[in-house]
Structure 1
Amino acid sequence: MADKEGRVTRNSTNDDSEGSNTSPQLSVEQLLASLSGDRFRDWYRERQYRQNIENGTPFFNGPASVPDSERHSPSRLLKCHRKVVYQQCNAPEETSDPDGIFWFGTRFEEDLAFPFLERAITNADTYVQNSVWVDFRVETKGVELQIKGETDPLIVDADATPILPTEIKTKSSVEHTSEPNRSHRAQLHAYMAGLSEKFGVDLTDGVVMYGSRKTMDVKIFHVEFDEEFWEDVVLEWAADHTHYRLTEELPPAEPENDWECKFCSFRERCGKGDSNHKDLGTDGFLPNFADYPREKVVRYLESNPDALLTPVLAEKYPDVADEYGVCTFQCPGCASSFEWDSIGRQDRVGRSRPVCPVCAEDDSLRELQISPHEQRGSSNEEKGVTGEGA
């Protein structure tokens, strides 16, 4: 508490009372020992977990469900078909989430973009609404598609009827941005179509706003609803994607821009990375690939209860191995099986598979393999989507 002059004083009632619960003051050494990047990471994860519960969205804390083949999220329209399939089917991600970028995007939208629209753009007869869910169906190429997603802030009238939807994105720089990204146009088209159907209006205009994470500069682009682009490009992409899902066919790796592969969380599985894997399906960890972040390993195992760790991941995350189990090695020659920790460490780490010790006694060097069934888990087999290495 503070005295009349504003000085901080101690509460003598609490300090002097017998059996006080006041914790002893931490020493500088204890404080310094607690300050670490790992401690911040754990605190941040727990903070997100609690916020999801407080916001009534506890489902964000668990693994995402696999959407129906006909269902599409506006934010994934026109993205690389293969990447979207990997995301939809919960293939294990090879990189951590860029939480800093997500956090900045949320803050930019809530703390800057929304107030800008509300205070500098609207007047007494118009308002800004945080977001609206759209969920509509459209038929194309003989397939009924479902498009479901949540808009960014939109300008509405006094009856909360949409007038102008927005799509707000952040980038490292907007200096050389001269037009909206094609996928962002597609996303905005989906919102215009969905809002038009939901509210019985004809929305033909929207805006894409880009904000720079470095300079806070902003560029805004007017987007008019283009029927030809919507039907011949966006809906055709969605129909093709539904076809890949229904036929359980691994789609081609064709991103809109080549640089996207460099930042993709599935580049090794796809074949764009430095490992010797290529064109793999959605199930299981990559054999002999140890660079999965711990949180992604746990998330995959939680979403696939029958799946097991690979030996190289068990070596890296022994506590996870104790909880979830590890695949066994199998010899394709003599059919012998070996527990992961029965093979010497020097034979388990690296790109090449370990050699069967039984066959080695007969001078036959047969590489041990991991059981595909153990690696994928039976719950994953229902998802389909196969590739050369699946």
Structure 2
Amino acid sequence: MEPTAATLVPKIGKESFTQWQQHREIRQNIKSGKTWFNLPPPEKPPERHSPHQLNQCHRKVYYQQLNAPEESRDPSGIFWTGTQFEEEWMMPYLEHIANESGAYIRNSMWVDYTVDTDVGPIHIRGMTDPVIVDEDSRPILLTEIKTKQSVKYATEPSDHHVAQAYAYLRGLSEEWEVDLRDAVLIYGDRTTLEIQVFHIEFDLDRWQDLVVAWATNHTVFRMNRELPPADPEFGWECKFCSFKHRCGRAKDSKFSDVDAYGFLPLFNEYPEAKVIEYLDSHDGAKLTPTLASRYPDLIDQYEVYEWACQRCSAIYSFGVIEWDGNTESLPLCPGCANEAIPVPLAEPGPEAQRILDEDAQ
């Protein structure tokens, strides 16, 4: 059939672009030999810490590390802009600066080391941004490159960016047996490409406060499987957090202080990709009826939790109950239909999902 505007226009839209983008990322990971990027991240040991997560909201990081279902898509545009800014602008610029001084530039360097604390060794592992090195590849100057919506009001570096720099400085110093104490934090403006640069010098007291104390406290939360307090560095963080409904910080949230496991009941804002990621990373996990109604194509691949009546305790499979997915108008229990006050069916909450999943295993 000859292509026409009438056949092409309906194919171009938000949903098809999202699917194309997801499939493109999968293909690129396979092509580059990084197939593990297509898999859900494994749950890391309590003592393992990534530099980029240091000194952030304990609760947000706790949710991330335990693979709680995210309520929003990854900010791919921000990630893409950050990568392009580093590769297309900062790398050539830093190489120019290095060459003028008889030095060289490396795209990144690994750090992998432990630090003794009151709760035992903590393990810090991650990959730096570009590093200026000598002819033997020994680090001279660490750089941290971040993008912001605007650098106009950037008057000082964020503490969690300083913590990240300290973690890399300490790791590189140990690995290369040098006393590396200097880093530059470069903030790039996503609109104007202007930069704001801050010189960071390693400070032992701030290292203890921003890195060691934070990581030690977070390790304790993880070891005790204790939901940390919601303690963001900036007030606006909650607005953009992928767990704000679960945490209870969303403006219209019906929930509060929910642990990391399970989908929120009657919550239909999870992006499909995040639903799949959660299900694939938790053995036995199922779709809630709400999510099965929103993403019917997933029913063939994943099971669905059953409806339950809170009055008569009757259980009903998702497929036998007619429902349009409207969470403001839940289906009624067929067994209690003749009661004076009908009772809506309920789907299991996070703790009930955990119990059901453990029983199924």
Instruction: Show the counterpart of 2:23.
Output: 46
Q: Secondary structure at the match of 2:100?
A: coil
Find the partner of 1:140 among 111, 114, 117: 117
* 1:307 correspondence with 2:269: no
1:310 Cα shift? 1.0
Change (3 A) 1:93 1:377: farther
Q: What amino acid sits opposite 2:21 in the alignment?
A: Y
In 2, distance between residues paired with 1:344 and 1:72? 46
**Alignment TM-score, normalising by the size of structure 2:** 0.92
Deviations 1:301-336 (A, max 9, x none): 122241111111111111112321211012243221
Q: Tell whether the 8 Å contact from 2:111 to 2:125 is kept in structure 1 after alignment.
A: yes
1:377 Cα shift? 7.4
Q: Secondary structure at the match of 1:240?
A: helix
Instruction: Show the counterpart of 1:91.
Output: 68
Change (3 A) 1:350 1:27: closer
Instruction: Show the counterpart of 2:233.
Output: 256
* 1:161 correspondence with 2:110: no
1:294 Cα shift? 1.1
In 1, distance between residues paired with 2:358 and 2:100? 53
* 1:321 correspondence with 2:282: no
In 2, distance between residues paired with 1:33 and 1:275? 35
* 1:362 correspondence with 2:332: no
Unpaired runs of 5+ residues, structure 1, are: 1-23, 382-390
Instruction: Show the counterpart of 2:206.
Output: 229
1:1-390 alignment, distance < 5 Å: 26-27=3-4, 29-123=6-100, 125-273=102-250, 274-345=252-323, 349-351=326-328, 354-363=331-340, 365-371=342-348, 375-376=353-354
Q: Secondary structure at the match of 1:256?
A: coil
In 1, distance between residues paired with 2:330 and 2:13? 37
In 2, distance between residues paired with 1:84 and 1:111? 30
Which is greater in Rg? 1
In 2, distance between residues paired with 1:344 and 1:35? 32
In 2, distance between residues paired with 1:355 and 1:174? 54
1:360 Cα shift? 4.7
Change (3 A) 1:119 1:259: same
Q: Tell whether the 8 Å contact from 2:59 to 2:228 is kept in structure 1 after alignment.
A: yes
In 2, distance between residues paired with 1:102 and 1:25? 38
Deviations 1:116-139 (A, max 9, x none): 000134336200000011010001
Change (3 A) 1:379 1:139: farther
Q: Secondary structure at the match of 2:226?
A: coil
1:342 Cα shift? 3.5
Q: Tell whether the 8 Å contact from 1:288 to 1:352 is kept in structure 2 after alignment.
A: no
1:339 Cα shift? 1.8
In 2, distance between residues paired with 1:104 and 1:247? 38
Q: Tell whether the 8 Å contact from 1:308 to 1:376 is kept in structure 2 after alignment.
A: no
Unpaired runs of 5+ residues, structure 2, are: none
Deviations 1:216-264 (A, max 9, x none): 1100100000100111332111011000010011110110111100000
1:349 Cα shift? 2.5
In 2, distance between residues paired with 1:148 and 1:380? 31
1:187 Cα shift? 0.2
1:50 Cα shift? 1.9
Two-structure CA RMSD over aligned residues (Å): 2.2
Change (3 A) 1:184 1:354: same
User: Which stretch shows the higher mean deviation, 41-50 or 235-244?
Assistant: 41-50
Q: Tell whether the 8 Å contact from 1:310 to 1:375 is kept in structure 2 after alignment.
A: no
Q: What amino acid sits opposite 1:303 in the alignment?
A: S
In 1, distance between residues paired with 2:212 and 2:329? 44
Q: Tell whether the 8 Å contact from 1:135 to 1:148 is kept in structure 2 after alignment.
A: yes
Q: Secondary structure at the match of 1:322?
A: coil
In 2, distance between residues paired with 1:114 and 1:267? 35
Q: Tell whether the 8 Å contact from 2:111 to 2:175 is kept in structure 1 after alignment.
A: yes
Q: How many residues align?
A: 357
State the identity %: 46
**Alignment TM-score, normalising by the size of structure 1:** 0.85
